[in-house]
Structure 1
Amino acid sequence: MIDAVRWVRTPENQHEVHVLDQRLLPLRTEFMVCRTASDMATAIRDMVVRGAPAIGIAAAFGVALGSQSWNPGAGFSYQQHMEETTRLLGATRPTAVNLFWALERMRALWATPVIGDPSGLTGSLFLEAQSIKDEDIRMNRKMGDHGQALLPDSATVLTHCNAGALATGGFGTALGVIRAAVSAGKTIRVFADETRPYLQGARLTAYELVEDGIPTTLITDGMGASLMAKKKIDAVIVGADRVTANGDVANKIGTYALAVLARAHGIPFYVAAPFSTIDFSLQSGSQIPIEERSPREITHFGPDVRIAPEGVSVYNPAFDVTPGEFITAIITEKGVFRPDEIRQLAPKSN
């Protein structure tokens, strides 16, 4: 199983986190070594690691790295240092709610007053980050079991962006459903669209599925409608970066278009996401902050090859919002729900 974020203890009894550099896949497999919270913030912001659950896991390890780097002689208290660490990590990417969920879970450990040297919390913080990762893998497998039951014994699935092991602790959300269906003995074929401008579908999803031996065909983003019209798609399955209380879903730009097309062609449209992706504090998708990324991702191919004229304006939102009315069901580790059922799942306040 692909391991995108690894916790490593050095011979000097220091902690490092090795992050698979997904910008280089599928041509090269290299890891960025993170020794500080600043290193991890860079990894998240620059998309060395991406995918909502994986971002949350990386941020949790970033908090632990921040604790390790606290210097009592620098003039800042441990609490002040950890607040700054959390602020730094929280400023990296605004749309994926798992980032903030993980930071708050880690805060519950370091913000608790302790007797003696607070830096002793470092080991506990690394263990908690590892627990978040391990839990994510277990949740993905449960999600896969729930989701695969929705697919017929033979199905062709269209997926968008990458919601696999690379985007999670392991196994995957949308790809986890596909993997679980294959494990259940079903015959599954996949169309993976390339997902402009960052090409996560071409570089990452196709890479994962080919490695697993699952029949996969790569298409451009504009080909989905034609395939649906020719009745070559039985279901669309995507991941999510945030789900609001009314069942609206933020996911990689282009997701909304596929949902509209699926509705027009009578094809089920499923979203697979861990329960932590649901943000009950937001009532609708219109409240979700949408990250806008560098124009260079659109005007250039790779670091150096310009494919658009100088002086052209660029609009590059990383995500769009799919209204719940276009979503057949949301698959979580707790079960499968209609979008209009999400609000009823909110934790009861005391």
Structure 2
Amino acid sequence: MDYDRYDRVRAVQWHGDRLRLLDQRLLPQQEHWIDCRDAAAVTQAIRDLVVRGAPAIGIAAAWGVVLAARAGEPLEPALAMLRAARPTAVNLMWALDRMKARIAAGADAAALAREAQAIQDEDLAANRHMGELGASLIEPGAGVLTHCNTGSLATAGFGTALGVIRAGVASGRIARVYAGETRPWQQGARLTMYELVRDGIPAKLIADSAAAHLMRAGEVQWVIVGADRIAANGDTANKIGTYQLAIAARHHGVKFMVAAPSSTVDMATPDGEAIEIELRDPAELLSTAGRRTVVEGAEAWNPVFDVTPAELIDAIVTERGVIERPNAAAMQAMFGR
């Protein structure tokens, strides 16, 4: 695997006294970096989508704890503030729980920095392994469709679903790549296409509403997505629009893969009904790039995640292995404690 070619972006960077984040709200037009020097700035960056993607949010939050420790701030309030930044992605809570355990064990700022770096390094290694595992499920010559952004921008590097696609392209298994635009923040259009073009991977952008038509035309054999939380029965929360892709995929005989690190699995959440779905400002739907596009007086509903039932998922891929046709028993066998 030529990682120098297929893994070029690092959106979360620790610089010893500050956390530097690539502002993903401005891509691809601008590559602007924001320096966070305290936990409050990291929290705001997570809330405002400067940094997004479940693994990247968790990594950034871990570094936010380090910043609080270096400044001598009380750590419990900092942990609570970071935890409240976004509710759906379990990686945020998982990373903060790891940092909290190190604090309880008496770790100082230097030890907490080592833990945050370990979280970041482990994510990169997990993504690369997932890429190999996921790609091995795909028959050579396949077309794939992905949704939202699950690449290096959303993780420590390489990506989850996009990591599977990178590995599949590199091994010659994937012949065609399609990315949905992903309204309302256009993560597929702005971010996934940005990564694919940088890597030299030929890909085509489609309107979200073109997905079923594309499947009917026989152009894709797999839909490959990431996850923000995977429940104990295999139900999966991901970017809004994922559920309808899974329904369309099942109707058209297209397989559906979820690729996510084991930190995304929440065995304490029994099923998708128990996952809190984040609602964001309706103005995000009523405007494009900050400019109002909908008539004044119109209202909007803006959930940013939905839940895909386990029975619509053909494979869940984590660094621990692959679960085909996931259910509660299979999830317990791999992730139960």
Short-chain TM bin: over 0.9
2:87 to 83, 94, 100: 94
> Which position in structure 2 is the counterpart of 1:184?
171
> Which position in structure 2 is the counterpart of 1:144?
131
> Which position in structure 1 is the counterpart of 2:335?
346
- Give the 3-state SS of the residue equivalent to 1:189 in structure 2: strand
- Give the 3-state SS of the residue equivalent to 2:15 in structure 1: strand
Give deviations 1:167-195, integer Å, cap 9, x for gaps: 00000000100111122233432110100
Displacement of 1:55 in angstroms is 0.4
Give deviations 1:111-157, integer Å, cap 9, x for gaps: 2247xxxxxx1111112111111110000011001000011111110
Rounded Cα–Cα distance in structure 2 between residues aligned with 1:247 and 1:301: 34
Query: Is 1:39 paired with 2:32?
Result: no
RMSD value over aligned CA atoms? 1.0
Q: Which moved more, 1:183-192 or 1:45-54?
A: 183-192
Rounded Cα–Cα distance in structure 2 between residues aligned with 1:135 and 1:208: 21
- Give the 3-state SS of the residue equivalent to 1:102 in structure 2: helix
Rounded Cα–Cα distance in structure 2 between residues aligned with 1:159 and 1:6: 26
> Which position in structure 1 is the counterpart of 2:20?
18
Rounded Cα–Cα distance in structure 1 between residues aligned with 2:145 and 2:112: 39
Larger Rg: 1
Rounded Cα–Cα distance in structure 1 between residues aligned with 2:174 and 2:240: 29
Give deviations 1:260-279, integer Å, cap 9, x for gaps: 00000011000000011000
Tell me if the contact between 2:99 and 2:115 (Cα under 8 Å) persists in the aligned partners: yes
> Which position in structure 2 is the counterpart of 1:256?
243
Rounded Cα–Cα distance in structure 1 between residues aligned with 2:162 and 2:57: 17
Percent sequence identity over aligned pairs: 53
Give deviations 1:234-278, integer Å, cap 9, x for gaps: 110000000000000000000000000000001100000001100
- Give the 3-state SS of the residue equivalent to 1:330 in structure 2: strand
Q: How does 1:59-70 map to 2 (within 5 A)?
A: 59-70=61-72
Which residue identity is paired with 1:65?
Answer: L
Rounded Cα–Cα distance in structure 2 between residues aligned with 1:187 and 1:218: 16
Q: How does 1:126-205 map to 2 (within 5 A)?
A: 126-205=113-192
1:6 to 7, 13, 23: 13
2:314 to 295, 314, 328: 328
Tell me if the contact between 1:178 and 1:188 (Cα under 8 Å) persists in the aligned partners: no
Gaps of 5+ in 2: 1-7
> Which position in structure 2 is the counterpart of 1:283?
270
- Give the 3-state SS of the residue equivalent to 1:190 in structure 2: strand
Residue-pair matches, total: 327
- Give the 3-state SS of the residue equivalent to 1:50 in structure 2: coil
Which residue identity is paired with 2:306?
Answer: D
Displacement of 1:65 in angstroms is 0.7
Tell me if the contact between 2:138 and 2:174 (Cα under 8 Å) persists in the aligned partners: no
Query: Is 1:309 paired with 2:295?
Result: yes
Query: Is 1:243 paired with 2:250?
Result: no
Which residue identity is paired with 2:183?
Answer: R
Rounded Cα–Cα distance in structure 2 between residues aligned with 1:162 and 1:16: 25
- Give the 3-state SS of the residue equivalent to 2:220 in structure 1: coil
Rounded Cα–Cα distance in structure 2 between residues aligned with 1:187 and 1:270: 14
Gaps of 5+ in 1: 10-14, 72-80, 115-120
Tell me if the contact between 2:144 and 2:174 (Cα under 8 Å) persists in the aligned partners: no
Q: Which moved more, 1:174-183 or 1:257-266?
A: 174-183
Tell me if the contact between 2:134 and 2:164 (Cα under 8 Å) persists in the aligned partners: yes
1:219 to 206, 209, 214: 206
1:50 to 33, 37, 52: 52
Rounded Cα–Cα distance in structure 2 between residues aligned with 1:231 and 1:184: 22
Tell me if the contact between 1:249 and 1:285 (Cα under 8 Å) persists in the aligned partners: yes
Displacement of 1:313 in angstroms is 1.6
Displacement of 1:292 in angstroms is 0.5
Rounded Cα–Cα distance in structure 1 between residues aligned with 2:40 and 2:145: 37
Rounded Cα–Cα distance in structure 1 between residues aligned with 2:100 and 2:69: 11
1:228 to 189, 201, 215: 215
Query: Is 1:269 paired with 2:256?
Result: yes
Q: State TM-score, norm by structure 1.
A: 0.92
Stretches of 4+ moved more than 4 A in 1?
none
Q: State TM-score, norm by structure 2.
A: 0.95
Displacement of 1:344 in angstroms is 2.2
Rounded Cα–Cα distance in structure 2 between residues aligned with 1:50 and 1:230: 33
Give deviations 1:296-330, integer Å, cap 9, x for gaps: 11001112x11111121210001000000100010
Rounded Cα–Cα distance in structure 1 between residues aligned with 2:98 and 2:185: 30
> Which position in structure 1 is the counterpart of 2:5?
none
